[in-house]
Amino acid sequence: MTTICSWGIRGGVGNTSVVAMLGDALHQQGESVLMVDLNSTDMLRLHFNVPYSDPHGWAAARLKGTPWQEQAFSLDAGLWLLPYGMHSLPSACGSHSQQADSDDFWCGALQALRTEFSWVLFDLPPAGRQYAGLRAQADHDLLVVSTDAGCHILLASADPPENARIFVNIHDPARQLSNDLLLDWRQRYGERLLPTLLHRDEAVNAALAHKTTATRRFPDSTAADDMRALATLCMARRGPRP
Q: H helices of the chain, where? A: 15-28, 58-64, 102-113, 132-137, 149-158, 176-189, 202-209, 214-217, 222-236
Bridge-based pairing of strands 79-82 and 73-76 is antiparallel
- CA atoms within a 13 Å half-sphere pointing along the CA-CB vector of 2: 22
Q: Average pLDDT for residues 154-166, to the nearest whole number?
A: 89
Specify which residues 119 forms β-bridges with: 2, 33
pLDDT at 92: 43
Q: Count CB-CB contacts under 10 A for residue 116.
A: 13
User: For residue range 104-116, what is the model confidence (pLDDT) as tens digits?
Assistant: 999 999 888 888 8
Query: What percent of the chain lies above the pLDDT cut of 90?
Result: 77
Q: Is the pLDDT of residue 97 over 80?
A: no
Residue 88 has pLDDT above 80, yes or no: no
> Which domains can be identified in the chain, with CATH numbers?
2-236 (3.40.50.300)
The pLDDT of residue 96 is 43
Going by pLDDT thresholds of 50, 70 and 90, the confidence category of residue 94 is very low
**Is it the case that residue 100 has pLDDT exceeding 80?**
no
Q: What pLDDT was estimated at residue 91?
A: 56
- Across the range 17-24, mean pLDDT stands at 98
